[in-house]
Structure 1
Amino acid sequence: MGIREVADMANVSVTTASRALNGTGRIAAGTRTRVKKVADELGYQPNEVARQLKEGMSSTLGVLVPDITNPFFPELVHGIQEVAEENGHVLLLAPTNGEPTGIAKALRQMHSRQVAGVVIVDDCLDDSALAKELDGLKYVALDRKLHLSQSTWVSSDHLGGAQMAAEHLIGLGHRRIVHIAGPQGIGVARERLAGFRQALELADIPLDDELVFYADFTEDAGYQAALGLLERDICFTAVFAVADLAAIGAMRAFDEHHLDVPKDISVVGFDDIHLASYVRPGLTTVKQQIAELGRVAAGLLLDSDPGTEGRSRTLPVEVVTRGTTARVRQSEVST
């Protein structure tokens, strides 16, 4: 069913029918009503993509995320979607699998769809290569501080949050604290490791490289890192994981080895994904404003000039205490 059939049934020209349905041009109210009624009866749907291409504009926003299976990202995308829909836009979601080729492919797709702009939630392509692939696309980076001219980014306070997580454990008497770190090629992982180190330094606790395990943000990575700790018979009383999923994976490994959390080992995560409050015991974690990050990023992207200097934002975080942390037993305190 096309616009011509609608025009014929409404006894108007194709141009008049198109203007009546698009809300453009000076059309008599009665004519507009008649055309819309016919379109509804025939089940006609306008070709929105064709209209946008003809007018040189788009109501689509692109979103690049590394992993749609991590529950952090759906909540983030939901925040972006809320603002997009409020402003008459739809989302085109492109998972990149956390690979440079994935980002490049996704951005080329965004160019071909002539999107109004993109939110980039990936940090595996260096700035210069990313700038080349962007090639004039309007964009906002999320959880990535780009070093490009006129760039805008939105991020949580990852360094401060990690410092608070470590300080929470130190305040409970822990000194042998493991950090399951993320890939150091990713900015948020570097910032969280830096925050962890800063807390130890301020507490005059020597950093033991043996207590830093490099993994990633997944549950399996946390599980394997914890197994590695146990196999090497390393002395530790607490774990700060780079992400909630990694913390939950570590807890599974401890449970399999009959270690009680938090009686034997305290655990802290980062993100406060929905699952964190449902695992047992509930996970102590650093709470990000996940949906708000998405809302702020979308708002900046839809701003007439998102690249204006000083528009970038860092959102605060806080430690949410649940059941996975406890005061260290005096017999375990290292002197």
Structure 2
Amino acid sequence: MATIKDVAALAGVSVSTVSRVINASGYVDNKTEERVLAAIQTLDYRPSRVARTLVTRRSGTIGLILPDITNPFFPEVARGAEDEAYRHGYNLILCNSDWELEKEILYLGILRQQCVDGIILVSTKLTEERLAEECRSLPSLVVIDRTITLDIHSISSNNVGGAVLATEHLLSQGYRRIAHIGGPSSSISAQQRLEGFRQAMTKADLPVEPALVVEGDYRLDGGKRAMARLLAMTPQPEALFCANDMMAIGALEQLNEAGLRVPADIAVVGYDGIALTRYIHPRLTTVIQPTYQMGERAVQLLLETIKGNENYQHIELEPRLDIRESSFRRGEP
């Protein structure tokens, strides 16, 4: 295997000149650079990533911590991040925290030990105080899917506004007894979507019955269990707004098992806009988040910080409502 000394000897330059060419640091005239690059190609020289990290203090890697890789929402975030990282010559290291605080902290430490250049974090458990503490020893950081007051880049979707869109749509169809299956109470996005639901109901002069608001866990089984609780009520709800699509699909399964028709007996609206919602029956009305763009923009912000730009941004993207068959009284848009 060729070494940097072999490249220097073939190109007729010093080792330090080869290093400057490889790391794009310092001046090297065009003819010398061409000789070095030709030598690298001839010898098929591949610089040691470890050695480069020690010299440049850059590893060319970005860490991404997601809470649930089985939820199709998060792979879409990962795809946007990976595509943008690849365009800029970076690799992505993926970690799955399973919605657990201990795993979030563990993976932050592991990525720090791996000398990643930056971290993208989707966190529902870390408080701002703990996050500020962790940031003291972390490289560049971007937080996704939650608003934050720290001097850290953050990207979120307008969860309150998206929930208002979903609820107002159900109200426009004439539904009044509307239930809500929310996410974990510790989740900022779940809190915001519940707030949007409350705002829309209050604006319509309708009460939010505590019994019609059930906490879920953003997972299929959680949505199914929550729907079973709602169906045990008398009278049953006329419509349902779920804080994410996975719980909405779980709720649809429970409704099917109970012999209830959607939307003839009960209307259902989800949140996130995962691809699966277009292929179930009936097709699920959902609030679509700009998921791919969130991952893509997160990498862009990281790279700006790595370059020394510390003008931190708190970006809020707008979701949109995609109305399909699951939420119309007659089942026809």
Structure 1 length as normaliser, TM-score? Answer: 0.88
Cα deviation for residue 312 of structure 1 reads 1.2
Task: Give yes or no for contact 1:237–1:328 (8 Å, CA) kept in 2.
Answer: no
Distance verdict in 2 for CA 1:155–1:202, change over 3 Å: same
Task: Give yes or no for contact 1:20–1:35 (8 Å, CA) kept in 2.
Answer: no
| Residues 180-199 of structure 1 mapped to structure 2, 5 A cutoff | 180-199=181-200
Aligned to 1:3: 3
**CA RMSD across the alignment:** 2.5
Task: Give yes or no for contact 2:121–2:143 (8 Å, CA) kept in 1.
Answer: yes
Quote the sequence identity (%): 33
Aligned to 2:213: 212
Task: Give yes or no for contact 1:140–1:306 (8 Å, CA) kept in 2.
Answer: no
Deviation track 1:274-333 (CA, whole Å, cap 9, x = no partner) reads 111111111001011110111222212211456425x2111111110011011389xxxx
Aligned to 2:170: 169
**What amino acid maps onto 2:210 in structure 1?**
D
Distance verdict in 2 for CA 1:244–1:316, change over 3 Å: same
Cα deviation for residue 270 of structure 1 reads 0.3
**What amino acid maps onto 2:159 in structure 1?**
H
Aligned to 2:22: 22
**Aligned to 2:148, which of 139, 146, 149?**
146
Give the length in aligned residue pairs.
323
**What amino acid maps onto 1:207 in structure 2?**
V
| C-alpha separation in 1, matches of 2:277 and 2:236 | 26
Task: Give yes or no for contact 1:142–1:154 (8 Å, CA) kept in 2.
Answer: yes
| C-alpha separation in 1, matches of 2:108 and 2:86 | 22
Task: Give yes or no for contact 1:165–1:286 (8 Å, CA) kept in 2.
Answer: yes
**Aligned to 1:308, which of 300, 307, 311?**
311
Task: Give yes or no for contact 2:224–2:252 (8 Å, CA) kept in 1.
Answer: yes
**What amino acid maps onto 1:314 in structure 2?**
E
More deviation, 211-220/15-24: 15-24
Cα deviation for residue 153 of structure 1 reads 1.0
| C-alpha separation in 2, matches of 1:96 and 1:316 | 26
Deviation track 1:90-113 (CA, whole Å, cap 9, x = no partner) reads 111121121111111111112112
Cα deviation for residue 38 of structure 1 reads 2.2
Task: Give yes or no for contact 2:184–2:216 (8 Å, CA) kept in 1.
Answer: yes
| Residues 226-237 of structure 1 mapped to structure 2, 5 A cutoff | 226-237=227-238
**What amino acid maps onto 2:43 in structure 1?**
V
Cα deviation for residue 231 of structure 1 reads 3.0
| C-alpha separation in 1, matches of 2:23 and 2:186 | 50
Task: Give yes or no for contact 1:63–1:94 (8 Å, CA) kept in 2.
Answer: yes
Aligned to 2:103: 102
| C-alpha separation in 2, matches of 1:247 and 1:61 | 33
| C-alpha separation in 2, matches of 1:196 and 1:155 | 18
Aligned to 1:79: 80
Distance verdict in 2 for CA 1:297–1:32, change over 3 Å: closer
Cα deviation for residue 55 of structure 1 reads 1.6
Matched, 1:286 2:287: yes
Aligned to 2:320: 318
Task: Give yes or no for contact 1:79–1:293 (8 Å, CA) kept in 2.
Answer: yes
**What amino acid maps onto 1:316 in structure 2?**
E
Unmatched 5+ residue regions in structure 1?
330-335
Cα deviation for residue 70 of structure 1 reads 0.8
Matched, 1:257 2:262: no
**SS of equivalent to 1:147:** coil
Task: Give yes or no for contact 1:20–1:31 (8 Å, CA) kept in 2.
Answer: no
Cα deviation for residue 34 of structure 1 reads 3.7
Task: Give yes or no for contact 2:182–2:215 (8 Å, CA) kept in 1.
Answer: yes
Deviation track 1:54-80 (CA, whole Å, cap 9, x = no partner) reads 222232111111111111011011111
**SS of equivalent to 1:324:** helix
More deviation, 88-97/158-167: 88-97
Aligned to 2:42: 37
**SS of equivalent to 2:321:** strand
**What amino acid maps onto 2:3 in structure 1?**
I
**SS of equivalent to 1:303:** helix
